[in-house]
Amino acid sequence: MVRGAQEARGGLRGVASVVSLIEHAPIAAYQMGFSRILFSRIRDGIWFPCSACAGEDEEFAQTMVRVGAAHPRRLDGVLLESEMVRRGIPILVCSPQSNPRVHSELVAVTKTRSYVAAPVLAWGNAIGLLHADRSAERPGVCEFDRDALEMFAEGLGIAFERNLMMDRLQAMRQAANEHMRAANALADDFTLEVMELAGRAARPVEELLKNGPQPRRTPTGHQPGRLGDLTAREADVLRAMAAGKTNAQIALSLFVSEGTVKSHVKHILRKLSAANRTDAVAKYHRMRG
């Protein structure tokens, strides 16, 4: 049994998520030599059965979970499991059919002669329970089974700590990535605004330095064809669009992010009153011609 507990603990190392761990725990304990195993979670001091294994009898395993879930128990001192959780030690329960301090509905459906149970601890707190027994055709459980189940429960608690920590790290990484995306978008918008302001300020200076006559403006103040509404960088983007480049290719050639290019394209479409990229390119060629 000790060897089986060690092997079962070793099998938990490859379980990569908390959900998978909950489902796998009873199966691993079954391989130790028990006939029926129930794993339960503890939430707000209440015992909630959530997974079980009864060998090939999957229907009976589901029945145990269903009956337990339909009759959750508060660990308030009445049940033997309350003392087990409080002290953090496993228990061996003999003659549960006549013991008033057991989960009566589960005992009734399993008709168990004796069972062992152990708390699953993570960072010193009980987060779950393991219950195990043997069928009527086999010898009942004993102190040795209780200690073996405790050994397995310790390994299960460590596995929960590891997987819960990995889940937290993954959530933190996702939050950091979302923060970086938001920061990059903000930087792109700021860069775009600076470029537009710089483009509007630079045009009059360039016009003053020209020797030839200035192009006539329309009554609305726009240059003919409205290409003059574009900033220098927007004009670069429009020329690249006309050359058939994608946003990613344009971003690479202009040393900006793809988000910045998308913002430029949006402004180009608005300034040229274009419905889409194809329309904008067509207007670009007409205006140049």
Q: What is the CATH number of the domain that holds 71?
A: 3.30.450.40
Residues 235 and 147 in one domain: no
Residues 166 and 221 in one domain: no
Please count the CA atoms within 13 angstroms of the CA of 104 that sit on its side-chain side.
5
Residues 55 and 115 in one domain: yes
Judge whether 261 lies within some domain. yes
Spatial neighbors of 257 by CB under 8 A, at least 6 apart, are: 184, 188, 251
Average pLDDT, the chain: 84
Judge whether 235 lies within some domain. yes
Judge whether 28 lies within some domain. yes
Judge whether 189 lies within some domain. no
Residues 147 and 238 in one domain: no
Range of the domain at 100: 2-170
Task: Look at residue 144 in the predicted model and tell me its pLDDT.
Answer: 94
Residues 147 and 234 in one domain: no
Judge whether 268 lies within some domain. yes
- The domain tally of the chain equals 2
Residues 133 and 256 in one domain: no
pTM as predicted: 0.61
**Which of 111, 135, 170 delimits the end of a domain?**
170
Residues 157 and 42 in one domain: yes
Residue 156: pLDDT band (50, 70, 90) is very high
Residues 20 and 162 in one domain: yes
Judge whether 15 lies within some domain. yes
Question: Tens digit of pLDDT for each residue in 21-42?
Answer: 999 999 999 989 999 999 999 9
Q: Is the pLDDT of residue 190 over 90?
A: no
Judge whether 192 lies within some domain. no
Q: What is the CATH number of the domain that holds 224?
A: 1.10.10.10
User: Of 107-116, 165-174, 237-246, which gets the smallest average pLDDT?
Assistant: 165-174
Judge whether 166 lies within some domain. yes
